[in-house]
Amino acid sequence: MIWTGLGIVLCIAVMLVLHDHRRLQRYPYLMFLGGLILLLLPLMPGIGHASGGARIWIRVAGFSFQPAEIAKILLAIAFAAYFYEKREVLALAGRRFLGFELPAPATSDPSWSCGSPPSRSWCSRTTSAPRCCSSACSP
């Protein structure tokens, strides 16, 4: 019952303090660091303690909790902010295989990026092809 009440109070506090969630996008690296620290806290002597054979708990003010639960939320927000910030770069990157960088599928063959295998049967010289497939219709 204490944890439920604490969760409700924290939810209301976050809603009052954080009017716009996009402000969190400014700090992805700090959130990554905070998540890593929270995950390592149970391993520190004096802070973490074992319960039921697992050393995943820490004691704070007489209560024990798993900091990994907070780290999960923090890391989810951090990854979302990071992927949003780097979306253009990540969209252009190809895969690496045996040390070689392969081109991204969307740039290697335009007809495949339209969702169909490459074929010239659907291309007509009298009508314009879709923009992403225009190079497949070139003579």
Higher-confidence position of 6 and 63: 6
Residue from 83, 71, 81 nearest 35 by CA: 71
Per-residue pLDDT tens digits for 30-87: 999 999 999 999 998 888 888 888 888 898 888 888 999 999 999 999 999 999 998 8
Query: Which residues, in sequence order, are CB contacts of 132 under 8 Å at separation 6+?
Result: 110, 113, 114
Report how far apart, in Å, the C-alpha atoms of 56 and of each of 61, 68, 77 are: 17, 8, 22
Q: What is the pTM of this model?
A: 0.61
